[in-house]
Amino acid sequence: LKFVFGPAALQALELVDRRAVTLVNSHSGRSLYQCKHLLAVYLCQAMGVVHQLTVTDKQLTSLLLAKDKEPGATA
């Protein structure tokens, strides 16, 4: 994995080891992953170790708005 994905693979594997990938679902069917590495998302999905959290639509909107306000976030 390191050969194909470079240094990002080590960071992704660390997230997988810590089981730090969460799938946030809203009641309306919208969802998002709380994780900065797409590779970690794919690996956790394949291993079946994704944490799932169900929230209200308002809570999901708050999470998305908080992401926009993070330093370095682009619109």
Does pLDDT of 74 surpass 70? Answer: no
Answer for the pair 2, 9: CB distance below 8 angstroms, yes or no: yes
Residue whose C-alpha is closest to residue 22's, from 4, 7, 37: 37
From CA 38, how far away is CA 17, in angstroms rounded? 15
The whole-number pLDDT of residue 44 equals: 95
pTM: 0.76
Q: Where are the domains of the chain?
A: 7-62
Does pLDDT of 75 surpass 50? Answer: no
Answer for the pair 30, 38: CB distance below 8 angstroms, yes or no: no
The amino acid at 52: Q
Does pLDDT of 3 surpass 50? Answer: yes
Residue recorded with tokens 């089981």: 19
8-52 residue pLDDT tens:
899 999 999 999 999 999 999 999 999 889 999 999 999 999 999
